[in-house]
Amino acid sequence: MHEGFDPLASLFKKYELIYVVGEERDLVGVRTNFRDEDVYVYRLRVPAESARKLLQVYLERINQLADRPEFYHLLSNSCTINIVRYANLAGRTGDFDLRVRAGDEPLNLRLACRCTPVCDPARKPVRFHGQPFERSTPMSLHRPYRLALVVAALCVAGCARSTPPESPAPEAATGPAVASAPAGPAAATPTPDTAATLVAYQWQLTSATNATGQSIAAFFPAADQPLGVEFGDGRLGVTGSCNRISAGYQLLDSTQLQLGQAISTMMACPPPLADADAAFARFLTGTLQVAVEGEAGAPQLRLAAADGSTLTFGGTPTPETRFGGPGMRAFLEVSTKPCVAPAPSTPPCLMVRDRHFDENGIASGAPGEWRPLPEGIEGYTPRAGEQQVVRVKRFEQAAAAGGEPTVHFVLDLIIETRTAQ
C-alpha cells in the first residue's frame, strides 16, 4: 500500500509479484501526463501470430498468479527477467544476456528488449516526456504488438492499490445542489425479498448527501455520465465510472449490506472522474444500511454509511428481468458503413456480422455475412471511424401467435477496436 521499493528487501520475500494490464493510453499516459516521466516506446518486428502467442503467455501467467501468488525477486523473478522468460515460451531462440539482471530498470528494459527478437534494432525508441499521450500519437505500431509490449513492460513489484488513488475528500456542495435529495433518511419498510430486488434492477444514482443533508458534488462528475451500481454473483459493481470498481457483498438481513474489500482498475482519469471514483471507493466500505422502497416497477434504493452519508438510486429492470431469463452470449462486429433502417430507430441501425471465438479468446471460424440490424444494440453507441467487435447478450422474445420471435441484443463488453482505413 504505497510502499517504496528496496532492492535488498526484494531478495527476501518483501513484495508480491503482480501484473497491471491496460492499453497504451492509460499505461503510458499516466506516466507522461501525470507523473512527468520519460517513457520509451520500442517498435516491434514480429508477426501478429507471435505477438498473440506472447500475449497469451502473459495471460496464462496472470491466471497462475491469481491461483498461486508469488514473491518478486530481483535476481530470479523480476519484471525484465520475465520478459525474456516469456519470450522463450513464445518461441524466442538465443542466449540469455546476464546484463538483464542489472539493477537499473530502464537499462533492464533496454537489455531485455535486445535479448528478444521482437524489437527492431534499426529503429530508435520513441521518447515521450511530459507531453500528452493520445491514440493519435504516431508510433508505427500495430495494435496486437503494442498490447503485447505494454503488458510485458508493466510487471510490477509490490501491492496493488485496491481502491483508486486517493483524492482530497470532497467538500459538500456549497452552490446549487447537483441533484435533489431528501433532508435525511426517512424510515422505510424493506421489500419482502431485498436480495432478489437488488439483482433484478440496474440502479442509477439520483442523489448523494452528507450527514447534514447537503449534496456531495463529487458523485456527479458530468451531467451526461450518471453513475450507478449493479448487483450480481455476490458482487456490487459501480457503473458509469472511469475505473471499474467492485466489491463483494453479503446481506446480513434485509436492512444491512456488508461489503468486502473493494477492487479497482488503475487508469489515469481527469479530476472530475477521478474524484467520483475516489468518492465511491470511500463509500463502499464496511456495513451499509440498505432500504428498497417504492413500487415494483420503479423502486428506489437507499444506501447509508456509518458517517451519515446517503446515496439514493432509481431502479430500472435489468435485461434479464425484462426478458424473463439470462441471455445467450454472442459476438458481433460492427461496421463503419452506414445502415438504413426501414424506419427511424433508437438505438440506431447498425451493419453487423457474427464473429466466433474459442475458449482462449482467439478468433475462430469465418465471420458471418454483413447484415443490417435495424434495432441496433441496446447500450451501444458507434464511434465514427472505428470498427469494433462487441460481446453482447442475445435475448429472444416470444411473438404473438403465428409470428416470429424477436431478437434483442444488449451490449456486454467492447472487446476490440480498430480504426477503419
Q: How far apart are CA 188 and CA 190, in angstroms?
A: 6
| Residue located via cell numbers 430486488 | 197
In this structure, what DSSP letter does residue 399 have?
Answer: -
The reported pLDDT for the residue numbered 114 is 42
| CB atoms near residue 111 (< 10 Å) | 20
CA separation, residue 418 to residues 126, 146, 248, 415 (Å)? 22, 13, 34, 10
Question: Which residues, including other chains, have CB under 8 Å from residue 114's CB and lie 6 or more apart?
Answer: 97, 121
pLDDT, mean of each 10-residue run, the chain (421 residues): 69 83 75 73 73 85 84 81 79 62 47 44 51 42 39 41 39 36 38 83 96 95 90 92 90 92 81 91 94 87 96 95 91 88 70 88 88 90 88 86 82 85 68
Residue with cell 453487423: 352
Q: CA-CA distance, 173 to 218, in Å (whole number)?
A: 9
pLDDT of residue 344: 62
Closest CA relative to residue 108, chosen from 86, 128, 78: 78
- At residue 97, the pLDDT reads 59
CA 261 to the chain's CA centroid: 17
Nearest alpha-carbon partner for 313 in 237, 200, 202: 202
